[in-house]
Amino acid sequence: NSLHEDYEVELVKYGSHDIAADAYDSLVAMINQIKSLGYYKVTSIHRSMGTQQYIWNNRMSGYLASGYSKEGAYTAVLQSVAIPGTSEHHLGLAVDLSAGTTVHNWLAQNSWRYGFILRYPPGKTAITGIVHEPWHFRYVGHELAKELYDLGLTMEEYMDMLTEQAGYGAGTASDPKNSN
């Protein structure tokens, strides 16, 4: 989804990164729990439009250099990089954690306890439009994180469920044509 041009977020420092103030305490608590489990490193939290544009351009260049057509490269990049202006990292609520398998597995099962969800779980690419990213966690708050975990739903599936319950029909929230 596109970030509204008037959107503002209060950011605070977490090491060398900026994070939304609302997510800070939960991230600290979650990180404190994984410290004893093995290797981890916070690789990205808040990203400016410029940083996202750099990542997008770099990925596009890589696909083009390997022989993809412009359209093919664009399609391939969309599976793993958000279009600048649509990244959850712009919100300061998405956290990328480089970690070993033990830590990633623990986070997939327990991040909800800290208000985070595994944003792009395995087997859900057709729903989210993004390939499985075991490192990408999104802060949604404790209540919603627990509900999503208990129901086994992605944010797109949850939004579709709410849309259907409200009588608007299914298939609208997770439709890739509606996400940009």
> Which member of 5, 88, 133, 143 is catalytic?
133
Does pLDDT of 79 surpass 50? yes
pLDDT tier at 171, thresholds 50, 70, 90:
low
pLDDT tier at 69, thresholds 50, 70, 90:
very high
The model's pLDDT over 20-60, given as tens digits with 9 standing for 90+, comes to 999 999 999 999 999 999 999 999 999 998 999 999 999 99
pLDDT value at residue 168: 78
pLDDT value at residue 176: 43
Annotate 91-160 with three-state secondary structure.
HCCEEEEEECHHHHHHHHHHHHHHCEEEEECCCCHHHHCCCCEEEEEEECCHHHHHHHHHHCCCHHHHHH
Q: Which residues pair with 116 in a beta bridge?
A: 139
Is 133 one of the annotated active-site residues of the chain? yes
The model's pLDDT over 109-138, given as tens digits with 9 standing for 90+, comes to 999 999 999 999 999 999 999 999 999 999
Q: Bigger pLDDT: 144 or 178?
A: 144
pLDDT value at residue 178: 40
pLDDT value at residue 175: 47
The model's pLDDT over 28-37, given as tens digits with 9 standing for 90+, comes to 999 999 999 9
